Structure 1
Amino acid sequence: MDDRSKRRLRFLAVSGVLFAAVWFLWNTPFVYPVKLFVVLLHEISHGLATLATGGEILAIEITPLEGGSCRCPGGNAFVALSAGYLGSLLWGGLMIWGAERFPAFSAWLAAAIAVTVASVTLIFVREPFAAAFGLAFAAVLLVVAWRGGWRVSRWVLTTLGLVSCLYAVLDIKSDILDRPELRSDARMLAELTGVPTMVWGGVWIAVALLFCFFLFRWAWRRA
């Protein structure tokens, strides 16, 4: 077996173990903080999309029950509503891509994400729980970047990216396909466009699965 085959076999083994760990620990306290972090990224994505299309952010909130909201009037409602789940995918892809493409700069990427989360929390988050969580998570990520170096930061970013992508897929299924009556992003988009909620759920989950497939294939080819 040549060196590349060994690297790819190791990549499959590590990826499989990491995915299995996240999957089986999904509803445990170990993964819970990361899921809240992904919810925060989801709401930040709504806000950034609104800003990019001419609107503003008034407040971003997350709840202990993994709920969240972004009060962001103005801008393009279609783009802003679409940006939540798709934004979670992009954040996850950015973390995995950055950790794999530029491993030596993983600590810098982790620090940049921490500063972004802390800044958004300080400027836009009002509720005590959400503010405490955002600042605490940013602080932990900064410690990882500072004390853990690029190797530890790389693993942390890969794990965060995996959970972000997986959460987007599972959240779309839970909130839209399984419970279309909920007032989800897809439900509000259906009210805006006249296209049924289930259609938007199907489109988004297809995009999410394709995104994850191509991201994994890229990482496999680099191994």
Structure 2
Amino acid sequence: MTESTSNNSSFFSRYQFWILLVLAGTLRSFPIVSVPFNWLESYFHEISHGLAALLSGGKIIRIQLFLDGAGLCTSQGGSRLFTSFMGYAGAAVWGAIIYQLARQHLLFARGVCITILLLLIASCIFWTQDLLTLFILTILILVFSLKLKLADNDALQKVIQLVGLTVLLNALMSPFYLIDGRALGDGATLSELTLVPEIIWVVIWFAIGSALLVWLAKSTSKMRKKS
């Protein structure tokens, strides 16, 4: 390894979180490149609704994904309040967990990849009832299957970390689309259930995403100092 390569590697290692965060933010601004990431964030949003319904005693009827990155989880029973809240909050948590686990070790990165694959496959089998959703989930399954075959183990870790940050950023910014005056979506549902204005729920979701980003930045910095 040359001195120049070593310096570049050291620079990336030192500022890895911020480089990946900027890259994740940049990817969101390219319409075509951002599409799979939008699908993935939408999937984690909807599966979070579904898991919240399951955890509160309900069941998932179906999950739908659309080409524009929108999605819909139809559930029955359970806590409507908890289920509605966990869409944006759950997607942010998924993003943070994916990044944090992938950062720890290659085995965790592979484990994250396999877990997402199994979740996507289970969704196809149990909760998909239309061809468009099946198509989108199949694309995501193929993408994660290809990621598992990356020859460069270090590259796999970086790619999965990038996926986590992109999902987290999308979950952080997506709630602001609810402020459109139409009183539709999770914020409107929570406002109806609690009488708390929709904007407050948007702020809460943004705060959760921001807190998770700060946590990731601090934990990355601490780990780098220890090493």
Question: Normalization by structure 1: what TM-score?
Answer: 0.89
* Equivalent of 1:157 in 157, 160, 176: 160
Name which structure has the greater RCO, CA cutoff 8 Å, separation 6+.
Answer: 2
Q: Which amino acid aligns with 2:29?
A: N
Instruction: Go from structure 1 to structure 2 and tell me whether the alpha carbon gap of 1:12 and 1:197 turns closer, same or farther (over 3 Å shift).
Output: farther
Any conservation in 1 of the 2:65–2:136 contact (CA below 8 Å)? no
Q: Specify which of 126, 129, 134 is matched with residue 126 of structure 1.
A: 129
Q: Where in structure 2 are the equivalents of 1:146-185 lying within 5 Å? A: 146-148=149-151, 150-175=153-178, 178-185=179-186
Q: Which residue number corresponds to residue 50 of structure 2?
A: 47
Q: Which moved more, 1:146-155 or 1:51-60?
A: 146-155
Aligned-partner Cα distance in 1 for 2:191–2:18? 37
Q: Does structure 1 residue 216 correspond to structure 2 residue 217?
A: yes
Q: Deviations over 1:111-140 (max 9, x none)?
A: 121111111122101221111111221122
Partner Cα distance (2:138, 2:124) in 1? 7
Q: 2:52 is aligned with what amino acid? A: A
Give the structure 2 partner of residue 3 of structure 1.
none
Provide the identity percentage: 21
Are the counterparts in 2 of residues 106 and 150 from structure 1 also a CA contact under 8 Å?
A: no
Structure 2 SS opposite 1:89 = helix
Cα deviation, residue 206, structure 1: 1.4
Specify the code of the residue in structure 2 equivalent to 1:203: I
Equivalent residue number for residue 198 of structure 2: 197
Find the aligned partners of 1:173 and 1:201 in 2 and give their Cα distance: 7
Question: Root-mean-square deviation (CA), in Å?
Answer: 2.0
Letter matched to residue 47 of structure 1? G
- Please say if residues 173 and 201 of structure 1, whose CA atoms lie closer than 8 Å, have aligned partners that are also in contact: yes
Q: SS of the counterpart of 1:70? A: strand
- Residue of 29, 33, 41 corresponding to 1:38: 41
Using the TM superposition, give the Cα deviation of residue 149 of structure 1 relative to its aligned residue in structure 2, in angstroms: 6.0
How many residues align structurally?
A: 216
Deviates more, 1:13-22 or 1:207-216: 13-22
Displacement of 1:106 in angstroms is 1.4
Q: How far apart in 2 are the matches of 1:104 and 1:55?
A: 34
Of 103, 110, 115, which residue of structure 2 is paired with 1:112? Answer: 115
CA distance in 2, matches of 1:16, 1:201: 25
Task: Structure 2 unaligned segments of length 5 or more: list them.
Answer: 1-7
Matched, 1:10 2:15: no
Q: Distance in 1 between matches of 2:45 and 2:135?
A: 18
- Could you say if the C-alpha distance between residues 187 and 30 of structure 1 is closer, same or farther in structure 2, counting changes exceeding 3 Å? same
| Worse-matched range after superposition: 65-74 or 144-153 | 144-153
Distance 2:152 2:167 in 1: 22
Q: Check conservation: 2:150, 2:156, Cα contact below 8 A.
A: no
Structure 2 distance, partners of 1:124, 1:87, is 18
State the SS of the aligned residue for 2:97.
helix
Q: Paired residue for 1:80? A: 83
Asked if the contact 1:180–1:197 (Cα under 8 Å) also holds between the matched residues in 2, the reply is: no
How has the CA–CA distance of structure 1 residues 198 and 142 changed in structure 2, closer, same or farther, with 3 Å as cutoff? Answer: same
In structure 2, the partner of 1:56 is 59
Deviation per residue, 1:38-59 (Å, 9 max, x gap): 1011000000010011001111
Residue 141 of structure 1 deviates from its aligned partner by 0.6
Q: Name stretches of at least 5 consecutive residues in structure 1 with no aligned partner.
A: 1-5
Q: Displacement, 1:11?
A: 3.8
TM-score of the two chains, using structure 2 as the length reference: 0.87
Distance in 2 between residues matched to 1:44 and 1:169, nearest whole Å: 17
